[in-house]
Structure 1
Amino acid sequence: MTPLIFIVWIVGFIAEASFLDAQHNVILILTDDQDIELGSMNFMPKTIKLMKEKGVEFSSGYVTTPICCPSRSSILTGLYVHNHHVHTNNQNCTGIEWRKVHEKKTIGTYLQDAGYRTSYIGKYLNEYDGSYIPPGWDDWHAIVKNSKFYNYTMNSNGEREKFGFDYQKDYFTDLVTNRSLNFIEHHIKTRAWQPFALVISYPAPHGPEDPAPQYSNLFENEHSHRTINWNLAPNPDKQWLLQRTGKMTPVHKTFTDILHRRRLQTLQSVDEGVHRLFTLLRDLNQLWNTYAIYTSDHGYHLGQYGLVKGKNMPYEFDIRVPFFMRGPGIPRNAIFTEIVSNIDIAPTMLNIAGVEKSVRMNGRSLLDLVAIKKNNKRSKSMKPWRDTILIERGKMPKLKKIRDRYIKQKNKFKKENRLAKECRRRKWQTDCVFGQMWKCYFTDEGRWRIYKCRDNWSSQCSCREKREILNSESDIDEFLEIADEENWRQGDFSSISETHNRNRRDVCECSGKNITHPMKLREMKDLKKKELSKKYNNPVESKNNRNCSLPQMNCFSHSSSHWKTPPLWPESLGEFCFCQNCNNNTYWCLRTKNETHNFLYCEFVTEFISYYDFNADPHQLINSVYTLEIPILEQLSEQLKNLRKCKNRQCEIWTAPRNFVVKNNEKTIENHL
């Protein structure tokens, strides 16, 4: 080897070694309330090109808790909610424990200790009051409280800044982009030798969903949110809330359409921001040295199962999120179907920095999954990737044995039991009158049966005449469906309820000779819908009585004053009420996906149990828990019990694939589900 060739070889070897050992830049791009199930990514072509086509899409990206502050706390710490104890967006969001313990052990503090220059720009946590800069951040620009697009306050490196309603100066999404670009450009020009870590936390598409003016006319008549389970209600086989949520009225449907449109419009500014970000990285020659992750703090629903809007639910539309990654060594235009989660972000960012994952973290670096995929077959020294993640909402109480809960629920939800429960109500036991659809009565055999009243209607008041007992499944299903619909509406203004009930009593009671001909069933249903829609859309009614509430429910009203920027809510539609959550919507779930199984198993604080098999039912239409044998339920419940209380790296044990045996403190534990 000649001296010149040897020198070139040595220089090349040193350069390659330096690249492998280098601390790469890392950027986390986080949106707020962005869905994947409703199709939002289909309207972000620049982000798709830059993050998906230039990197990996994790098609099974999930959050462990579909609520803003708990999920963001998990992103920052790599911990499940039951370990950082931020359960809600309220009191314990930036509470005492968070400030004293967990905020001191976030990606910011770990990366700063590793020599990174760190920056956080955008939304932090919902109850952040702007009075301090959290530890770990060299550059800090965070909005006070929750996401807004105009008229907000920020803590900018210790100084409080107030912003107004001028799009050019104040629009928050653009401000987040501009300050992020300024940070990168200044950093590369002044200290390119030092790696940087940047969190870009956008407000979109969170409410109040104010789009930039140039996008406010886009996506008219776009209905991608109307999925298979859109307005599928009521759902007597699902948890308490969905058993009582009825179909949306026309005004609710219109609201979901407009809200979906506004959400897509706000994301256009994010799409442009991502494009500007990567253009700058290319111009500064930093693409080769920078990792980027794109995701959201949780998903969203707009009309699914009749729920007008919101999050908090253990269903794909709320727990599944956009999840992309690109950077050195990351495959391009690849799709990984393995389950990844928000608790994996912190370990991944530490791994990129060459920092060993903290023992306290529950997640795992996504670079491990990339390595597993590259090797195709797992080597003996490489742990397999998980096939399960824990989904949790709320604190953990002690529940009865799963066998007892299951038997009680199965008995309760049998059609015969549901029929008996409904028939005990006085409204179904009165004699048939004109307009009445059903009548229940108790047989000599001790069972409840039903009449179809409309089959007895006549001009001679024969509606009181007896007829043969109907035992067909279709009749029972129809009766229970109507009963469920009448038991619930989307919220309530009390005066509307009173008026509606009074109108029902005014129906002809089939007495004596004063007989009127009955309306056809379809005409009655149409009249009822028009009456209800008219009442809900009546602004005078809403103005006089704003009692938008129902027992145990979290209900809200919406009017033309809600949105300040186009597209506006039509004044002609007035104010309406809807209920999007309930006090007992507390649950713990296993989301499992592998070569043979794809399911969501949940236990609720109400002792309700649900199981959805995505291989047979991809839209979670049917709770198929009754198809499971009790021994299988006991296995699932045991795994869930262990995940609900797992600490540190124990959590990897209970999310590992089936038949994977690990050694833990000289004790063999097998996840055999």
Structure 2
Amino acid sequence: MNYMPKVSKLLKEKVARLCYLTKFVSTPICCPSRSSILTGMYVHNHNVHTNNHNCSGEEWRKVHEPRSIGVLMKEAGYRTAYLGKYLNEYEGNHVPPGWDYWIGLVKNSKFYNYTVNLNGNRVKYGAEYEKDYFTDLVTNQSVKFIMDHFSTHNDKPFFIVISYPAPHGPEDPAPQYAELFEDIDSHRTDSWNYAPNPDKQWLLQRTGKMEPVHVAFTDLLHRRRMQTLQSVDDGIFSTLRDHNYLSSTYAFYTSDHGYHLGQFGLIKGKNMPYEFDIRVPFFIRGPGVMKKFRFPVLNIDIAPTLISIAGGSVPSYMDGRNLLELLALKKNVSSSSLSPWRDTILIERGKMPKLRKIRDRWLNQKERYGKEMRLNDACSKPEWQHACSGSQQWSCYRTSDGRWRIQKCREKRGRHCACDKRQKRLASRSENMKNSTFALQWKSMTVYVEERRKGSDTVKIVNTFKGIRLFFFSRNLTNPDRAACSVQQMNCFLHSIDHWKTPPLWPDEYGQFCFCQNSNNNTYWCLRTINDIENFLYCEFVTEFVSYYDLNDDPHQLHNIVYSLEMNTLEQLSERLRLLRECQGSECERYSSSTWEQHLHYNSCLSVNEMKGITA
């Protein structure tokens, strides 16, 4: 918000009743998160798990569109409008039910050369800024709808959703803002380029530090994203003020997900369960709204809140909660019907298969990853970071992917043995050390595979090393064909001088590069808890990996401290996560509250360990 002065000023002006809430998204992916905003449901209940499967698909159109927030607000007597990006796979062949005025972008975000469905008609736009820039089109048409409403439908309230493309790719700024933020570096947080991370999930274990070309890319991408936001201006607020409706209007300002630019070595994207991807700004401006307070709210809370403002009843299938109740709780309004606000939310990405018991997963992980952690501790000693010399016994070195390895210092003379009737020098290629770590004099297999991979003409060499697939392949490509930038079961992109069509452009001398930013096994389910004492993130991955971050001590989530948890604590977390993963409607709020154990259909005197095996 520091780079959006117009919007910030309007939201924070003294006469405004403004509330800033600690808001998260239930999933850091465009289409699933937008589907949650429109339905008030968790991903596992509306079944839109990715930007492809069921994103504006048959199930969505038949089951969820007929009961979306647009339909419910129209039934409550509001005149409704939706303008901007809808869902990533929206084909533009229909106007979803519930919307009196509709301008929906066909497919994903664009600023020029796009097509919209305008009240049932497909309209194409070109590449002229004055006529076609999509952010301005959304603003101008929103103002037009409001003005028309005041002149022809002033007897009814209105509800409008304004879905700007900025700062989404391709990040085309308006020409007048293309020179701004030349030296901006606000994306360089403590976790920026913090890599490798052997204590994190598969993806981040195999991501090393960014190369200089990647650093330049993240800097320019961040600059372009900030430039695009400058076009989100004050036109709509000004229109409401001019007609004396601003003080009686509720305005919600938020986003469908966060973003990372170099965090943990990841060049760009979303999809991660960390704060930079799941935490988003959320402002509410309107009558009776209070100032900032610290309670976790979600994208699934928006729909129930809007329905309550409209005077309707929140449907039982919605998993979210009316935020007006939170305002009442903050005001200490006594009501036996109001339960305490939640302290925990569910973050989910993908469908959950059946996994082993958490005890077995944790013990296996502790044994498997404990060696890497011991190596990191040992190699942090300065005396072990030098090449072997004198009486030195051990020496540490980093592999090409940034991991520490340790070798024993020994005399360089070889040993002799008798073979085939003659003496041959036997080079001791490896030595099995007491800690079960192999020290290799020649390059480790990890380095060998990486060198072979870099020398390949195409990325297809990755498939030769199945089971070893290290990481995020990143190198300069001479073949401009995007098919060359493809790795099975990974999400890759090719960046070149042709990607951006508007200034500031990618310098020709930087060339092009391929980078794989996500993988299919980056599937997870997490608990995010915030209360007066606790502030943590607990995650279980489809790979059976488990993580825990204490944000009171480690706000940038640099260190996974899951091994410090007691087993009974770990089992409680896993049980609560299981319940939220399967919750529906009011169950979700019960299992999100600090008193969640009281809602179990078990004897409240039993511990979680004792509960297991007992039928409700």
- TM-score > 0.5 by shorter chain: yes
Q: How does 1:501-650 map to 2 (within 5 A)?
A: 536-537=475-476, 541-543=478-480, 547-650=484-587
Superimposed CA distance per residue, residues 543-594 of structure 1 (whole angstroms, 9 cap, x where no aligned partner): 4896324454222111000000001111111110111100111110000000
CA contact (8 A) 1:61 1:339 kept: yes
Equivalent position of 1:289 in the other structure: 248
CA contact (8 A) 1:457 1:463 kept: no
Question: Counterpart amino acid of 1:326?
Answer: R
- What secondary structure sits across from 1:205 in the alignment? coil
Equivalent position of 2:464 in the other structure: none
Question: Counterpart amino acid of 2:556?
Answer: H
Q: 1:657 aligns with which of 585, 594, 602?
A: 594
CA contact (8 A) 1:127 1:145 kept: yes
Give the TM-score, by structure 2 length: 0.83
CA contact (8 A) 2:590 2:596 kept: no
Equivalent position of 1:100 in the other structure: 62
CA contact (8 A) 2:490 2:520 kept: yes
CA RMSD of aligned residues (A): 3.5
Aligned-residue offset at 1:372: 1.0
Aligned-residue offset at 1:56: 3.6
Q: 1:350 to 1:235 in 2, by over 3 A?
A: same
Aligned-residue offset at 1:415: 1.4
- Number of aligned positions between the proteins: 558
Q: 1:223 to 1:670 in 2, by over 3 A?
A: farther
Counterpart CA distance in 2 for 1:417 and 1:289 is 57
Q: 1:457 to 1:257 in 2, by over 3 A?
A: farther
Equivalent position of 1:258 in the other structure: 220
Question: Counterpart amino acid of 1:157?
Answer: N
Aligned-residue offset at 1:494: 2.9
- What secondary structure sits across from 2:326 in the alignment? helix
Equivalent position of 2:49 in the other structure: 87
Aligned-residue offset at 1:470: 9.4
Q: 1:404 to 1:456 in 2, by over 3 A?
A: same
Question: Counterpart amino acid of 1:45?
Answer: P
Question: Counterpart amino acid of 2:231?
Answer: S
CA contact (8 A) 2:23 2:280 kept: yes
Equivalent position of 2:204 in the other structure: 242
Q: How does 1:483-494 map to 2 (within 5 A)?
A: 494=456
CA contact (8 A) 2:22 2:294 kept: yes
Aligned-residue offset at 1:536: 3.8
Q: Is residue 2:368 matched to residue 1:412?
A: yes
Q: 1:252 to 1:456 in 2, by over 3 A?
A: farther
Q: 1:476 to 1:229 in 2, by over 3 A?
A: farther
Q: 2:237 aligns with which of 278, 294, 305?
A: 278
Aligned-residue offset at 1:348: 0.7
Aligned-residue offset at 1:396: 1.7
- What secondary structure sits across from 1:622 in the alignment? coil
Equivalent position of 1:176 in the other structure: 138
Aligned-residue offset at 1:91: 2.9
Structure 1 gaps, min length 5: 1-40, 420-431, 441-448, 500-532
Counterpart CA distance in 2 for 1:126 and 1:565 is 23
Counterpart CA distance in 1 for 2:80 and 2:475 is 50
Q: State the percentage of identical aligned residues.
A: 60
- What secondary structure sits across from 1:367 in the alignment? helix
Counterpart CA distance in 2 for 1:487 and 1:174 is 50
Question: Counterpart amino acid of 2:543?
Answer: T
Structure 2 gaps, min length 5: 376-387, 389-394, 399-404, 414-424, 462-472, 609-616
Q: 2:7 aligns with which of 47, 59, 64?
A: 47
Q: How does 1:122-161 map to 2 (within 5 A)?
A: 122-161=84-123
Counterpart CA distance in 1 for 2:95 and 2:431 is 75
Question: Counterpart amino acid of 1:353?
Answer: A
**Range that drifts further, 57-66 or 105-114:** 57-66
Counterpart CA distance in 2 for 1:256 and 1:183 is 38
Equivalent position of 1:371 in the other structure: 328
Equivalent position of 2:287 in the other structure: 328
Question: Counterpart amino acid of 1:637?
Answer: S
Q: 1:345 aligns with which of 299, 302, 308?
A: 302
Superimposed CA distance per residue, residues 76-125 of structure 1 (whole angstroms, 9 cap, x where no aligned partner): 00000000000111131011111111111111000111111000000000
CA contact (8 A) 2:460 2:486 kept: no
Question: Counterpart amino acid of 1:330?
Answer: V
Counterpart CA distance in 2 for 1:325 and 1:314 is 25
Q: 1:556 to 1:467 in 2, by over 3 A?
A: closer
Q: 1:471 to 1:213 in 2, by over 3 A?
A: farther
Q: 1:412 to 1:378 in 2, by over 3 A?
A: farther
Q: How does 1:418-429 map to 2 (within 5 A)?
A: none
Q: Is residue 2:348 matched to residue 1:389?
A: no
CA contact (8 A) 2:198 2:372 kept: no
Counterpart CA distance in 2 for 1:212 and 1:495 is 39
Superimposed CA distance per residue, residues 451-491 of structure 1 (whole angstroms, 9 cap, x where no aligned partner): 366x9789xxx99799999999xx999x9xx99888769x9
Counterpart CA distance in 2 for 1:593 and 1:254 is 36
Equivalent position of 1:25 in the other structure: none
CA contact (8 A) 2:34 2:256 kept: yes
Q: 1:197 aligns with which of 159, 165, 171?
A: 159
Counterpart CA distance in 1 for 2:460 and 2:153 is 70
Q: 1:253 to 1:100 in 2, by over 3 A?
A: same
Q: 1:178 to 1:619 in 2, by over 3 A?
A: same
Aligned-residue offset at 1:661: 4.2
Counterpart CA distance in 1 for 2:430 and 2:587 is 64
- What secondary structure sits across from 1:148 in the alignment? coil
Q: 1:661 to 1:159 in 2, by over 3 A?
A: same
Aligned-residue offset at 1:218: 0.4
CA contact (8 A) 1:493 1:547 kept: no
Q: 1:52 to 1:582 in 2, by over 3 A?
A: farther
CA contact (8 A) 1:60 1:337 kept: yes
CA contact (8 A) 1:390 1:591 kept: yes
Superimposed CA distance per residue, residues 125-158 of structure 1 (whole angstroms, 9 cap, x where no aligned partner): 0000000000100110011000100000000001
Superimposed CA distance per residue, residues 584-636 of structure 1 (whole angstroms, 9 cap, x where no aligned partner): 11110000000000001000111110001101111100111000011111101
Q: Is residue 2:36 matched to residue 1:74?
A: yes
Give the TM-score, by structure 1 length: 0.77
Equivalent position of 1:216 in the other structure: 178
Superimposed CA distance per residue, residues 173-212 of structure 1 (whole angstroms, 9 cap, x where no aligned partner): 0000001011011101111110000000000111000000
Q: 1:213 to 1:639 in 2, by over 3 A?
A: same
- What secondary structure sits across from 2:280 in the alignment? coil
CA contact (8 A) 1:456 1:465 kept: no
Counterpart CA distance in 2 for 1:621 and 1:476 is 27
Q: 1:402 aligns with which of 345, 352, 358?
A: 358
CA contact (8 A) 1:542 1:576 kept: no
Aligned-residue offset at 1:383: 1.0
